[in-house]
Structure 1
């Protein structure tokens, strides 16, 4: 029950980030809702497609669809207030990332994916929705050009896979993996860390 509630909180946070980006791009109410749904549910849908889960959970789990859609509409209506709550949205986004990555990695392992594939699937579960959001907005995905986001997601996925290989209890391992992701993400935001980029070529 607690895990399901936390997952819905993560979905709401991801949906809010997608809706805020859509509002900034001056999309209409339909566009804002679509971006909210895509950001919140895109990563999980990609995970299910990669793992051969049909239909994807996002299409049969109505509470997830409802939370994402309603969040998009709320952001559309009250976007000036939501913009002022940017820190809170980023905090919830970090928790959502941690939860989604560890859940995605655990699901991949349970369905027989090899360790390296489980890491990639787990990472994709966390970052896929945001990448799709940026593509729809005709932008280079944020996770590919700045911020410690995908790296934090991959680190948490590796923790879950290592715990599975060592036959450690899955719940505490997932908790540690999530905590690592959230910690790295919040420290990166606090310290303004970004992944290295190529040096500019003179001339």
Structure 2
């Protein structure tokens, strides 16, 4: 299936980051982009654990300290460590997860959408319950989704499930599925009617945020260059 996006060198590098791999790693032995230019790719013989050299825990802590106010410094540190662990476990770029959180909730831990999605990663209670049961994650109902530790655990795990479900397809697919739901995504794929219109802005906003969060708190002179 063809999609409407074209891979630029930057976009491809960011797409690589979705799997928690650094484009600057010396451990890469081969990178082959999909000729259909749909953001898919594969890495030949990449050693994921060694190649994981993206955002540091200190950078993540800086983001969370600034965005999750008010939160005690000790809690920020613990949450940063927790998010770092989740990203390492599921091979996600922390900048990608932070960007998704910004788009979904604006870093508001207690927000509830009109549809009933809750917390940082805007999880539907039914989805959260399913993921918790499937993976043996602590969950005690809707209120627990306002706990950032639980919300992040369930949200990143769910995103990892979607990445696995749509393995071999463009990263756009599992990200769009997070937005519209896997049932809807499966329906669109089965009908061969998937056109990235509804989720286009969602995806582009996340993509834009990845580079912004990756350099957060660092020398940002690049952002003002023409």
Give the TM-score normalised by the residue count of structure 1. Answer: 0.29
Q: By percentage of residues, which structure has more helix?
A: 1
